[in-house]
Copies of this chain bind each other. A is one copy, B any other.
Amino acid sequence: MPPFFVSAMNEFILDQRLADDCHELGMLELCKVLLMNNASVSWLILVPQCSATELTELNEADQAVLLAEINKIAGFLESIPAVEKLNIAALGNVVSQLHVHVIGRNSEDACWPDPVWGRLTEAPYDSADVRVMAIALAEQLGPDFLVNRNVIV
């Protein structure tokens, strides 16, 4: 694990709005993996543990790790039968801390074909489903994924 990561981890504080809106499922090498607490779509969020607000602030090596982690999360979502399409986006107009949405869409989901932001009514997960999602991620991603024990106990 490169030194920058240890340093960034020590200082890293998840944005409060992301913490409030999501369940923290676990960590990959660079990113925290969050589950948006809305069960009407399969919506994961990667948050690089650093101080960046834009993708372009990451150096080339960190961008490559982020891209690899996007692929891992995208692959997980693509393994869910209901997921027909991915939406991948770094917006940050409301929450400035750099975060990447990786969302599984379905042509019959709650706001298809619109983007999800601001278009979904509340549909919180129950804790059992969050646990199932965290365990499924851990099983598919293997040792690359450090599951958040708080969601699986």
Point out residues on A near B: beta carbons under 8 Å.
54-56, 63-64, 67, 70-71, 74-75, 78, 85-94, 105, 112-115, 117-118
Contact indicator B117/A114 (Cβ below 8 Å): yes
Q: How far is the CB of A53 from chain B (nearest CB, A)?
A: 8
Cross-chain contact of A93 among B54, B71, B93, B112 (Cβ < 8 A): B112
Residue picked from A64, A86, A87, most chain B C-beta under 10 Å: A86
Cross-chain contact of A115 among B74, B91, B112 (Cβ < 8 A): B91
Chain B residue nearest in CB terms to A113 = B93
Contact indicator A113/B94 (Cβ below 8 Å): yes
Which residues of chain B are within 8 angstroms of A54 by Cβ–Cβ distance?
Answer: 74, 78, 85-86
Which residues of chain B are within 8 angstroms of A71 by Cβ–Cβ distance?
Answer: 55-56, 63
Which residues of chain B are within 8 angstroms of A90 by Cβ–Cβ distance?
Answer: 86-89
